[in-house]
Amino acid sequence: MPLVRLSDEEDPAPNLAPMIDVILVLTIFFMCATKFSGDERTFDLDLPQAGGAATTAGARPEIVEVQASGGIRLGPDEVTIDDLAQRLTTAREARPDVAVMIRGERAVPHGRMAEIYEACRGAGVRHVAISVRSRSESRRK
């Protein structure tokens, strides 16, 4: 660290400006590099719990959110069941290994979840998963 002497009578002191610059650059880097999963938090869903929840690996899946009222969202957009199937078909044509993560609220009727699942399968999507909250995660809250 370079020492700065302003006059002959003063003691040399370390120059803190480069250290502050480095800290600011690192702070900005870590803020930008942090993964924010806001696209998965469009609805405030009450996910069901499961004991044997597994994590998925690979490319980022398409997120389908289903509200208890029946509303469907693909990513940031609200869609109908027909739009969902058409958009997933387009996504599968662009990326054959596309995966879909269905995030349905606990109160969503089973029939509605089956419709969503069928729309995914009808679009030719082979990798469909249902998002749940693990029991150990819910105990911590």
- Its domain, for residue 72, covers 38-140
76 and 134, same domain (yes or no) = yes
The pLDDT tens digits of the residues spanning 17-65 come to 889 999 999 998 888 877 655 554 555 555 555 555 455 555 678 888 8
Enter the tokens of residue 24. Answer: 């600011």
Whether the predicted pLDDT of 15 surpasses 80 = yes
55 shares its domain with 13: no
Are residues 44 and 91 both part of a single domain? yes
In which region does residue 75 sit, left (phi positive, over 0), alpha (psi from -120 to 50) or beta (all else)?
Answer: left
- Do 23 and 73 fall into the same domain? no
- The tokens for 44 are 């405030």
105: domain CATH number is 3.30.420.270
- The string of DSSP letters for 32-51 reads HHSPP-GGG-SS-----EET
- Overall domain count for the chain: 2
Residues 100 and 134 occupy one common structural domain: yes
Model-level pTM?
0.54
Nearest to 59 by CA among 8, 138, 129: 129
109 and 53: one domain? yes
Same domain, 81 and 99: yes
